[in-house]
């Protein structure tokens, strides 16, 4: 799904305050630290809690393998002023046969409230739409995770509905809000109204 340019670990994407780069073995401690924060893990359906360093090591290996194969793109977020420290992750996993990519992201609690994930996600989504032929990108969040849904709204995602999803890491099914961004849709401006529901 992803072209050669993203399949080498020297690939990185720059924003005003961040570098987005491949995750590496040295990130395991930072990833384990922020994913083992219940305020972070329990807002997701996939991150187990407690979260051990071995979980982070396994994730980094899996992410790098998928990146190298072009099957997905997983990038770590690092502040330019402290490039060695991963403060979050953003990923696009695809179903290219359906022209669809699935966006996911997580951010360390210490970086909340600064617009960093919106900044990263806007650049990341622009990249994905520029270098792939995906028709649209989908995402989702726990219905109670208003911060994640707000990021999606700022990117121009529209709400498509609610679903009950399996969440083994949370011990059962959870209610999710699903969203969609079609190719060609403009990013919503900052301060936009709550996420629109997609036209049926």
Using an 8 Å Cβ cutoff, are 116 and 17 in contact? yes
Q: At what angle do helices 28-35 and 53-69 cross, to 10 degrees?
A: 120
**Dist. CA 81–CA 75, nearest whole Å:** 18
Q: Give the residue-averaged pLDDT of 91-109.
A: 89
Residue 91: the pLDDT is 98
Q: Give the residue-averaged pLDDT of 178-185.
A: 92
The reply to whether CATH 3.40.630.30 applies to domain 4-182 is: yes
Residue 99: the pLDDT is 87
Picking from 21-35, 119-133, 135-149, 178-192, which range would have the lowest pLDDT averaged per residue? 178-192
Under the banding of pLDDT at 50, 70 and 90, the label for residue 97 is low
State in Å, rounded, how far the first CA of the chain is from the last one: 29
Residue 189: the pLDDT is 45
Distances (CA, A) of 88 to 21, 69, 91, 126, 161: 11, 22, 10, 19, 27
Q: Is residue 151 predicted with pLDDT exceeding 50?
A: yes
Domain coordinates of the chain in residue numbers?
4-182
Q: Report the predicted TM-score, pTM, of the whole model to 2 decimal places.
A: 0.91
Encoded tokens for 56: 């982070």
């Amino acid at each position: 799904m992803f072209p050669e340019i993203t399949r080498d670990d020297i690939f990185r994407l720059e924003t005003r305050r961040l570098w987005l780069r491949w995750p590496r073995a040295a990130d395991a401690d930072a990833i384990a630290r922020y994913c083992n924060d219940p305020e972070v893990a329990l807002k997701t359906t996939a991150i187990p809690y407690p979260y051990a360093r071995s979980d982070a090591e396994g994730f980094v290996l899996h992410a790098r393998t998928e990146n190298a194969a072009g099957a997905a793109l997983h990038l770590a977020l690092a502040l330019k002023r402290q490039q060695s420290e991963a403060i979050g992750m953003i990923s696009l996993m695809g179903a290219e046969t359906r022209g669809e990519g699935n966006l996911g992201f997580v951010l360390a609690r210490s970086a909340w409230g600064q617009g960093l994930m919106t900044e990263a996600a806007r650049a990341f989504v622009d990249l994905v739409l520029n270098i792939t032929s995906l028709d649209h990108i989908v995402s989702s969040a726990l219905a109670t995770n208003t911060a994640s849904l707000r990021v999606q709204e700022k990117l121009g995602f529209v709400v498509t509905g609610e679903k009950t999803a399996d969440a083994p890491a949370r011990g059962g099914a959870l209610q999710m809000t699903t969203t969609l961004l079609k190719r060609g849709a403009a990013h919503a401006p900052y301060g936009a109204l709550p996420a629109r529901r997609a036209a049926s």
